[in-house]
């Protein structure tokens, strides 16, 4: 049996509604329709499951049965919209909540004496996989400048940095090309004591522009563009303990708060959607341990080190809402989790005023799977 879905009005059926189309006094005939199965609707946040079925009742004559055939909406089925919206929420959250650590930004150049100005650049590649949400490859370039404004009780520095991040995002089970871009400004104050203690305060803000070119199982476009902003504050402190044999250990603690604005938009399929505002409060406790060495007595020390951190998200709840032509769908997720990183790094003095550094870390635990980060930086002091 073949019929026009719009003319029959099947998309207006509620679950359990029936459209009767045949009455038989025997049960020899069987019907199927061209709309049995899942209907993938771009204008609905959920997909519909339809079936052609029958029911029999006693006829007037003894031993006879009357069979009524009907078309019905059996149930709702989650489709491509749910993983798309979840990935969009989690990916933007991951981009907004990147931790800005002093060692990633400065390397060991913070211990160079006699310089009052610094110009630096760093590049970070991250391969990030979050369980049942997304896989992301992101590239970040950051350029910064800082200046010593006081040398009372150590060095007091003020600085600023701008960064750009491009991220390619894959959504498990959903086809499409997805990309996010982050633009951010960082203002920071750093105090470097004369005895190894440091404090780093970073005020940051930026925007995230995302373009999701997502398709459902029928090939219909259901993606959208999104624009979000974020701002926050990071507080970090650590203490480098040097030993006579040039070994060192450096315990560190850090707290970061980030607020990420949500966004309202209409998908390519016509569904009205909203990403909720979210807040992140991450705590980090870590340790670096390494060895200082020098290629030349006229050069500042270089170093190699290992590092490990435990991180905890104390907030991080996220959610979204969708309203389609006849149905709606909402979901929310708890962000509370603990994860870890471990890595190695090298920091090289190439001249009296120039430093290069490289850091590689594995991210694991919590909802993170098979995730890595590589940071390379350079700094010139003058």
Q: What is the CATH number of the domain that holds 118?
A: 2.40.128.130
Q: Which of 263, 181, 196, 254 is nearest to 227 (CA)?
A: 263
Per the CB < 8 A criterion, the answer to whether 332 and 318 are in contact is yes
**Are residue 201 and residue 140 in the same domain, yes or no?**
yes
**CA 227, CA 223: separation in Å to the nearest integer?**
13
**Total of domains in the chain:** 2
**Are residue 236 and residue 183 in the same domain, yes or no?**
yes
Per the CB < 8 A criterion, the answer to whether 186 and 7 are in contact is no
**Are residue 28 and residue 105 in the same domain, yes or no?**
no
**Final residue of a structural domain among 62, 77, 92:** 77
Which residues form the domain of 319? 81-381
Specify the pLDDT at position 122. Answer: 96
Q: 241: which 2 tokens? A: 């303990």
Q: Which of 176, 165, 177 is nearest to 208 (CA)?
A: 165
> Binning pLDDT at 50, 70 and 90, where does residue 14 land?
confident
Q: Mean pLDDT, to the nearest integer, of 260-286? A: 98
pLDDT in tens, 352-363: 889 999 999 999
SS3 percent helix, strand, coil of the chain, rounded to 5, is 10, 65, 30
**Are residue 30 and residue 134 in the same domain, yes or no?**
no
pLDDT in tens, 276-302: 999 999 999 999 999 999 888 888 889
Contacts of 19 (CB under 8 A, 6+ apart): 8, 9, 10, 13, 70, 71, 72
> Binning pLDDT at 50, 70 and 90, where does residue 373 land?
very high
**CA 282, CA 256: separation in Å to the nearest integer?**
5
pLDDT in tens, 200-235: 999 999 999 999 999 999 999 999 999 999 999 999
Complete DSSP assignment for 132-160: TTEEEEEEEEEEEEEEEEE-TTSEEEEEE
Tell me what percent of the residues of the chain surpass a pLDDT of 70: 96
Whether pLDDT at 182 is above 60:
yes
**Final residue of a structural domain among 54, 77, 100:** 77
**Are residue 158 and residue 125 in the same domain, yes or no?**
yes
**Final residue of a structural domain among 49, 77, 105:** 77
Report which DSSP code applies to 369: E
Contacts of 187 (CB under 8 A, 6+ apart): 158, 159, 160, 202, 203, 204
**Are residue 152 and residue 206 in the same domain, yes or no?**
yes
**Are residue 325 and residue 247 in the same domain, yes or no?**
yes
Complete DSSP assignment for 213-236: EEE-TTS-B--EEEEEEEEEEEEE
Exposure string of 40-60, with b = 16+ CB inside 10 Å and e = fewer, is bbbebbbbbbbebeeeeeeee
Specify the pLDDT at position 65. Answer: 75
**Are residue 10 and residue 93 in the same domain, yes or no?**
no
Specify the pLDDT at position 7. Answer: 77
**Are residue 158 and residue 92 in the same domain, yes or no?**
yes
Computed on alpha carbons and rounded to an integer, the radius of gyration of the chain in Å comes to 29
Q: Whose structure tokens read 């009780």? A: 153
- pTM value is 0.90
Specify the pLDDT at position 4. Answer: 79
Complete DSSP assignment for 315-359: ---EEEEEE-SS-EEEEEE---EEEEEEEEEEEEE-SSSEEEEEE
Specify the pLDDT at position 109. Answer: 56
**CA 340, CA 369: separation in Å to the nearest integer?**
11
**CA 364, CA 371: separation in Å to the nearest integer?**
7
């Amino acid at each position: 049996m073949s019929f026009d879905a719009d003319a029959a009005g099947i998309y207006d059926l509620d679950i359990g509604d029936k459209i009767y189309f045949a009455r038989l006094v025997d049960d020899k005939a069987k019907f199927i329709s061209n709309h049995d199965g899942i209907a993938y609707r771009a204008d609905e946040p959920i997909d519909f499951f339809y079936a052609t079925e029958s029911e029999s009742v006693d006829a007037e004559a003894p031993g006879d049965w009357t069979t009524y055939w009907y078309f019905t909406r059996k149930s709702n089925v989650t489709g491509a919209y749910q993983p798309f919206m979840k990935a969009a929420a989690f990916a933007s959250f991951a981009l907004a909540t990147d931790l800005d650590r002093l060692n990633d930004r400065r390397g060991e150049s913070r211990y160079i004496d006699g310089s009052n100005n610094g110009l630096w650049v760093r590049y970070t590649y991250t391969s990030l996989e979050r369980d049942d949400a997304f896989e992301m490859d992101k590239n970040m370039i950051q350029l910064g400048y800082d200046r010593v404004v006081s040398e009372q009780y150590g060095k007091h520095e003020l600085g600023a940095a701008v960064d750009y991040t491009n991220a390619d995002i894959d959504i498990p089970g959903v086809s499409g090309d997805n990309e996010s871009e982050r633009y951010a400004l960082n203002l920071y104050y750093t105090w470097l004591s004369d005895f190894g203690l440091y404090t780093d305060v970073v005020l940051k803000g930026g925007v995230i522009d995302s373009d999701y070119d997502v398709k459902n199982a029928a090939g219909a476009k259901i993606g959208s563009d999104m624009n979000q902003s974020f701002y926050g504050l990071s507080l970090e402190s650590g203490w480098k303990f040097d030993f006579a044999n040039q070994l060192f250990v450096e315990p560190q603690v850090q707290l970061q708060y980030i607020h990420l604005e949500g966004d309202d938009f209409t998908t390519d399929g016509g569904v009205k959607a909203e990403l909720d505002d979210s807040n992140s409060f991450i705590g980090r406790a870590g340790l670096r341990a390494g060895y200082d060495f020098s290629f030349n007595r006229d050069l500042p020390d270089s170093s190699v080190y290992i590092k490990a951190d435990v991180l905890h998200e104390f907030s991080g709840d996220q959610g979204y809402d969708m309203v389609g032509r006849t149905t709606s769908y909402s979901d929310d997720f708890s962000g509370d989790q603990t994860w870890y990183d471990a890595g190695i790094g090298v920091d090289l003095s190439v001249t009296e005023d120039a430093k290069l550094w490289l850091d590689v870390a594995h991210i694991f635990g919590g909802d993170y799977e098979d995730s890595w980060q590589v940071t390379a930086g350079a700094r010139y002091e003058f």
